[in-house]
Structure 1
Amino acid sequence: MLIVRPVRISDLPLIETMAVESGIGVTSLPNNREKLYEKIQTSLGAFEHEAIAGTGREYYMFVLEDEGRVIGTASISASAGFEEPFYSYRSETMVHASRALKVNNRIHVLTMCHDLTGMVQLCGFFCSPQYQLRAYELLSRARLLYMAAARERFGRRILVEMQGMLDENDQSPFWDAIGRRFFNMDFPQVEQAFAQRSKTFIAELMPTYPIYVPLLPDAAQNAIGQIHPDFERPFSILSREGFEADDYIDIFDGGAVLTAEVDQLFSLRQQGIYQVEVAPVLPAGAQEMLLSNHRSGQFAATQAHASLVDDVMFITQETARALSVSSGQRICTAPLLPEAGRAQA
């Protein structure tokens, strides 16, 4: 049975393996044992935090288990850029006009900014590619059910960065056109530096003036706001949740940055809190759905069949064990995501 739970120290070896498998695309999952251990320790402290509201420093790391084996990981940063600004490019239009020449041109420009600093950030997502979309959906959405259980810890707006387009040599056309000219570093090198060191080097070396997009090579222009094929599954899940591409792109590879209002996401709008009843056989009308134990501490989530009868949610004994709940306690439920292209009620 697939289960999402908070990370443990004992998960470190498998998290290291996933950091290697994820390549350079997941900068919040660095291939560095000390950094990963530090993230796990930070996560343990966040889950143990008893305050009514979070400080913004919290980092929550989850893992996906299949019969006790860790096969994926995903995280939440309560406040993007809490200690340092969260940099991105804002995509906007600049007007160049001359009344004398009767010329009025609207030019696409990119301006470095930290407008998104302080927003909740979904990050560190990786799931073994051999698993079906069901596992991806559970891992991605379980984080949102945790946010529903500890809503006071998180802000109003949320973002997630998508990896941009790379060529066959894992180089970024967008980076080659802009960043390389100021860093003199390959894209994999700067991604590694971004994952393991202070982000202040961005402000120190990147151009602060607007970048005129028409002056960039065609390959760089075509990469703006695009998503790497390896991220199509996570993107599909997030877009059906209600995330949309905003006027911001990643400062390194030009990949899309998705944003949303937390309380308008599908999982939070459609969630229900019910008293649970553990039954050997489910009543008629059971449906597959996302289920969590609705706890901020000792959190657990899974995807299973359950039946709602007179405001009581009936679950199987296997599901109860997965969620560590018993009859009379409460659980949180959310329906499966609508199929791609279907309207979200």
Structure 2
Amino acid sequence: MLIVRPVRISDLPVIETMAVDSGIGVTSLPNNREKLYEKIQTSLGAFEHEAVAGTGREYYMFVLEDDGQVVGTASISASAGFEEPFYSYRSETMVHASRALKVNNRIHVLNMCHDLTGMVQLCGFYCMPNLSLRALELLSRARLLYMAAARERFGRRILVEMQGILDANAQSPFWDAIGRRFFNMDFPQVEQAFAQRSKTFIAELMPTYPIYVPLLPDQAQNAIGQIHPDFERPFNILSREGFEADNYIDIFDGGAVLTAEVDQLFSMRQQLRAQVEVAPVLPEGAEEMVISNHRSDQFALAQAHASLVDDVLFITPDTARALSLACGQIACVAPLLQAEQGRVAA
């Protein structure tokens, strides 16, 4: 059975392996044992607090288990840029006009900003290769259903950064056109620095004036707002949830930044709470559902067969054990995304 739960210290070796395998694509999963240990410790502290009302410091790391083996990880940052500004480029249009020459031009520009600072951020998403779409969806949605169980801990708006286009040598055309000129560093080098050091170096070295997009090479222009092929499946999951590309892009590779209103996301709107009844044989009409134990501390989530009858959720003993649920307790249940794919896409 696939289970999502909070990370533990004992997960550090496999998290290290994932950090290596993820390459430069997941900056919030640094290839650095001390940094990873620090993230796990921070996550443990966040989960242990019984009542957190939006302090913003919290970082929650989850892992996906397949029959007891950790095969994926994903995280939530309660407030992007809590200690330092969260930098991005805002994509805008400037008008250059001359009445005398009868010229009126609209020019695409990029302005460095920290407008997204303070928003909830989904980050650190990585799964072992060849995992099913079902597994990826479960891990991605677990973060949102945890937010449903601890809604007071999180703000109103949410963002996700998607990795942008890279070439065969893991270089970014967008970075080569802008950032390299100010940092004199390859893209993998600056991504590693971003993952392991203070982000203030961005403000110290990057230009603060508007970047005129027409002056960039064609490859760099074409990379703006695009998504790396390896991130297409996570992107499709997030799109079905209700995330949309905003007028912000990643400051390094130009990748899309997705945003949404937390309470308007599919998992948040469709989730409901029901009293649990454990039954060896489920009533007729049982179907696959995403089920969590709706706890902010000992959180657990799985996809399993269940039957919802008059606000009572019938689950099997195996599901009850996996989620540490007993008769009379409250669970959170949500439908599968695939069942709603056509409606959401429409």
Structure 2 counterpart of 1:111: 111
Q: Give how far 1:52 is off.
A: 4.3
**In structure 1, how many angstroms separate the alpha carbons of the residues matched to 2:25 and 2:172?**
11
Matches within 5 A, 1:167-178: 167-178=167-178
Kept after mapping to 2: 8 A contact 1:236/1:340:
no
Kept after mapping to 2: 8 A contact 1:74/1:123:
yes
**In structure 2, how many angstroms separate the alpha carbons of the residues matched to 1:261 and 1:337?**
18
The 3-state SS of whatever aligns with 2:227 is coil
Matches within 5 A, 1:64-75: 64-75=64-75
**In structure 2, how many angstroms separate the alpha carbons of the residues matched to 1:341 and 1:315?**
25
**In structure 2, how many angstroms separate the alpha carbons of the residues matched to 1:94 and 1:329?**
57
The 3-state SS of whatever aligns with 2:106 is strand
The 3-state SS of whatever aligns with 2:191 is helix
1:241 aligns with 2:218: no
Structure 1 counterpart of 2:186: 186
Aligned length: 345
1:306 aligns with 2:300: no
Structure 2 counterpart of 1:319: 319
Gaps of 5+ in 1: none
Q: Give how far 1:211 is off.
A: 0.2
**In structure 1, how many angstroms separate the alpha carbons of the residues matched to 2:48 and 2:128?**
28
Gaps of 5+ in 2: none
TM-score normalised over the length of structure 1: 0.99
**In structure 2, how many angstroms separate the alpha carbons of the residues matched to 1:263 and 1:244?**
14
Structure 1 counterpart of 2:154: 154
Q: Give how far 1:309 is off.
A: 1.3
Structure 2 counterpart of 1:126: 126
**In structure 2, how many angstroms separate the alpha carbons of the residues matched to 1:202 and 1:8?**
32
Q: Give how far 1:339 is off.
A: 5.9
Q: Give how far 1:122 is off.
A: 0.1
Structure 2 counterpart of 1:14: 14
Structure 2 counterpart of 1:331: 331
Matches within 5 A, 1:253-332: 253-332=253-332
Q: Give how far 1:311 is off.
A: 1.4
* AA matched with 1:56: G
Q: Give how far 1:340 is off.
A: 8.2
Kept after mapping to 2: 8 A contact 1:111/1:209:
yes
Kept after mapping to 2: 8 A contact 1:85/1:114:
yes
- Post-superposition CA distance 1:256-276 (Å, at most 9, x none): 000000000000000010001
**In structure 1, how many angstroms separate the alpha carbons of the residues matched to 2:233 and 2:56?**
29
* AA matched with 2:5: R
**In structure 2, how many angstroms separate the alpha carbons of the residues matched to 1:63 and 1:70?**
6
TM-score normalised over the length of structure 2: 0.98
Q: Give how far 1:342 is off.
A: 1.4
